[in-house]
Structure 1
Amino acid sequence: MNAVARPMQAVNDRISKRNFDRLARYIYDYSGIKMPQSKLTMLEGRLRRRLRATNIVSFDDYCDYLFNDGGIEYEAVYLIDAVTTNKTDFFRESKHFDYMSESALPTLAKQGHRNLRIWSSACSTGAEPYTIAMVLEEFVERRNDLNYSILATDLSTDVLQTAHQGIYPAELVAPVPPEMLRKYVMRSLRPRNREVRISPRLRSRIGFGRMNLMDVKYPVGDPMHIIFCRNVLIYFDKPTQSAVLSRLTDCLLPGGYMFIGHSESIIGFDLPLKQVSNTVFQRV
């Protein structure tokens, strides 16, 4: 990498309007994430870490490196990691997992599906796919004729590393029901260690990988029985939401289920989906 080599000093400057517009346009084109002027201060705060990591002392120099010196090819992954928001909790929006356990999975099993494929398409640090795995383990435990696999993808390499390790602060797993905690979450033998780790049994069920929902095709293999795409559509404008949902639906088996976030909607989009519960849809 040919970053500007200068003595390190505090990064105190501001992003110019020209450079903010360039960064916002690139972030939108690459990830679909809208970056309005109101997020200028947030962007500055997050990019200061990248300036320190690259030994570049000003936002002007950083943008010159990205857009004039070809640095964007190397820096793109780190830039997007810096600006993505990754809030995650175990059993977040828990009604979804109730519906999955009580309706979606029994229906799919009744229809004769024996190898269930589930995709967490914006998995963040892993709480969502591990929650899905807990629910599936409980369901499969009662039926010895079912199997499942989970694909978990995200745009951010940082969160994927955390997700793959499956190590979390103990307080993060507080929403997990006690019986599931006992079966699927390992605590340290050292009392002062406040971290927990997801059991190897669950970790072995999940394949983690980087994927950009802005890509024109999603290489996920055979159609999915269930797709989770929750709390990411809110960062996209309507045309991007429509395109992403259309591509996701193309990856969904007829009769399969799509879960989106409680603050999200598919109203106004021409999709072969019917609503079966609050923010839960089935492909028709």
Structure 2
Amino acid sequence: MATLKEKKALETDREFHFTDADFHKLSKMVYERTGIVLKDHKKNMVYGRISRRLRQLDLDQFKDYLSLLEGQGGAAEIVNFVNAITTNLTNFYREAHHFEHLGKTVVPEAIEAMREQGTRRFRVWSAGCSSGQEPYTIAMTLWEHIPALAQYDARILATDLDTNCLDRGRSGIYPMKQADGIPSDCLKKYCQTGNDPEEGTVVMMGDKLKKLIAFKQLNLMGKWPMKGPFDAIFCRNVMIYFDNETKAELVRRLSALLKPRGWLYIGHSESLLSNAGDLELQGRTVYRRKN
């Protein structure tokens, strides 16, 4: 851990003057707009990410950036600000036991329920989908376990706050090194390879996957236009950034959009504890609505 003297030396060497007051103002803005809590140890991370915006905007100091955000033209920059702050770490088949559970437990139960109810509607929500690897993995899982999927009214809603990530998801094009998690048979069946001038060899998601997914921008702290209900919701590695009050409210809203006995998947480092509400733990980071 850096000493106070080392911290002061680091701040002196910075390209842009960045005070604790600047950090706390930016942190407050992030919390008010996204519910994400930025603790003091995130100061250097915030400096690094927002410094890029200062260079792009030809600004001299963080106070100028704060003035921009708070001014009349700030609404347009808020999107870039949030994009810069939010963390987007993901890959295909991350926490693979969730997709195994979706395919082997949720899908068979849903098919049986659809037969009894005379419907073919199946809905999954990827909340905090980042750059799209999660919803594409969901889509491959559905195709693998429902060979006649085209005959069903199956859709995947993929939402995120970061517009840059959503653009990547819509394109369905990823550097080949990111495809390591995709099983070889799925890679052959649902994807193609190609070349990109900037990224070299790339993997491209096929139309069978793309047609299942709708990518939409959504702030989980704002109003939700969708009504559900969803058979399953993936909200993984999102709540780790929230305080308990925000987490409890989010879980309540997620549960309300699930079908009775619907499923919620959360991240490996997350736990609902006293915030579970009408959800009950069914396995490792797998919750089910009670009724």
Q: TM-score, normalised by structure 1?
A: 0.91
Q: Which residue of 1 aligns with 2:95?
A: 93
Of the three residues 28, 33, 48, the one matched with 2:31 is 28
Identity of aligned residues (%): 37
Q: Which residue of 2 aligns with 1:161?
A: 167
CA deviations 1:17-55 (Å, max 9, x no partner) are 222111111101111111112111111110011112222
Q: Which residue of 1 aligns with 2:76?
A: 74
1:1-284 alignment, distance < 5 Å: 12-67=15-70, 69-112=71-114, 114-141=120-147, 146-188=152-194, 193-215=200-222, 217-284=223-290
Evaluate the alpha carbon distance shift between residue 44 and residue 71 of structure 1 in structure 2; reply closer, same or farther with a 3 A threshold. Answer: farther
How far is the alpha carbon of 1:193 from its aligned partner? Answer: 3.6
Check the 8 A contact 1:122/1:152 in 2, yes or no.
yes
CA deviations 1:218-253 (Å, max 9, x no partner) are 212331111000011101111111111111111111
- The residue type paired with residue 61 of structure 2 is S
Q: TM-score, normalised by structure 2?
A: 0.89
- The residue type paired with residue 202 of structure 2 is E
- The residue type paired with residue 67 of structure 2 is D
How far is the alpha carbon of 1:261 from its aligned partner? Answer: 0.7
Count of matched residue positions in the alignment of Structure 1 and Structure 2: 273
Matched position secondary structure for 1:275: strand
Supply the distance in 2 between the matched residues of 1:189 and 1:82 (Cα, whole angstroms).
28
How far is the alpha carbon of 1:147 from its aligned partner? Answer: 3.6
Check the 8 A contact 2:232/2:258 in 1, yes or no.
yes
Matched position secondary structure for 1:173: helix
Unpaired stretches in structure 1, ≥5 consecutive residues? 1-10
Supply the distance in 1 between the matched residues of 2:128 and 2:195 (Cα, whole angstroms).
32
Matched position secondary structure for 2:140: helix
Mean Cα displacement is larger for which, 118-127 or 102-111? Answer: 102-111
How far is the alpha carbon of 1:145 from its aligned partner? Answer: 5.5
Report the RMSD for the aligned CA atoms in angstroms.
2.0
Check the 8 A contact 1:121/1:154 in 2, yes or no.
yes
